A = this chain, B = another copy of it.
Amino acid sequence: MQTINPPWNRRLRMALIGGGGSAFIGPVHVAAATLDRRADLTATVLSSDPDRSRQSAAAFGIAPDRAYGSVGELIEVESQRDPDSRIDFVTIATPNHTHFEMARAALEAGFHVVCEKPLTTDMHQADQLTALVEQTGLVFAVAYGYSGYPMIRQIRDMVRGGELGTVDAVRVSYIQGGLRRMRPDEMPTRAAWKLDPNQAGPSGVMADIGTHAFHLLRYTTDLQPMEISCHLATYHPVRPMEDYGHAVLRCMEGEMATLTVSQVTHGRLNDIALEIDGSTGSMVWQHEQPERAIVRRHGQPVQVYESNRRAEYLGDAFRASSRLPGGHPEGFFEALANIYRGAFDDMLRRAAGQAAEAAGTTYPCVADGCEGMRFVEACLASCRTNGWWQPY
């Protein structure tokens, strides 16, 4: 008899840290985590202001005794709870500069972690978290949600499985425009921290969305970056950090990858494009139509792969992450839900005494978060040296 979440046969208990008030990211994490009804939201810390944190919990349906005022309180109280009611994992959806301390505290208290990107604000913190994950054996997922799209997983399997031959070149771009018109004082409250280097870290667009683009590049191909040449620019007049960036990556086997990110391209919403050139075929994926991949081979009709669970030409990784029949659009909730699904599977494997084998495959793990930080630091270093190559 099939049940949910064997061996526990119950829903996992989630604590949400951050994402309250007008922030959209909290409800998104909750919806994604609970989409398959394998988890429920059990506890919250919704604000750095303890009173507001407690008051906001009712909107999430959280009882007062699980509506905590701070992460410290959450961890202290939950740690003392009976295993039958204690939370299983925390989701950290707070400004970047708080990720490290919160994640460390959660890991040290024995809770699995799902953490927003970028992992931390510097490499040193990232390395510490990596060590702690290894030491505790806990599951640590990083919310590179775009890697959860079923078609991205199809692409990964095709590319890594050699269906395009040897990969020669990759072009990835992530173009937004939302910040074009905003001065810091016009930013919605929930996003103001993104323009404050003390909260967001030293990098702007490269940390905020460049890490997503870099992860997609790394996730779908096996390119090993060797050195990076990066150019950053700030086009918005009153922006403290870069809002436009471009990096060239030289990889181990001579492959060239280029990565372009912008948050100042008028009217562009969230436009990620990934183009992969291989020796026997090429591929294009665009986030505006996440359920399609375009595959081309010289002299043949262009092939458009469309999400369709019944189509045999799509592989297991696709099917394992698709929830609806072909032609019923799935979107970002489902992509992020696939990250949670992968993390849950590993939490259960751990509960069953097995290895957490899915890390980096069905969910981005602490190592992927570290790579993102390494990429950002190499970009910043290259930019400081007028674009000269920096080792990755």
Contact = CB atoms under 8 A, between A and B. Distances in A.
Nearest to A149: B329
Contacts of A24: 323-325
Interface residues of A, number: 98
Contacts of A301: 295, 303-306, 311, 313
Contacts of A305: 301-302
A258 B258 contact: yes
Interface string A231-275: 101010000000010101010001010101010111111110001
A200 interface: no
B330 A169 contact: no
A299 B312 contact: yes
Given A248-B231, A260-B171, A298-B181, A269 B306 contact: yes
Contacts of A226: none
Interface of A: 1-4, 9-11, 24, 27-28, 30-31, 34-37, 41, 55, 58-61, 164, 168-169, 171, 173, 175-178, 180-181, 229, 231, 233, 235, 244, 246, 248, 250, 254, 256, 258, 260, 262, 264-271, 275, 277-282, 287-290, 295-306, 308, 310-313, 323-334, 386-389
15 contacts: A2-B59, A3-B58, A24-B324, A31-B35, A169-B265, A177-B298, A266-B278, A266-B298, A267-B281, A267-B299, A288-B327, A295-B301, A301-B311, A302-B306, A387-B389
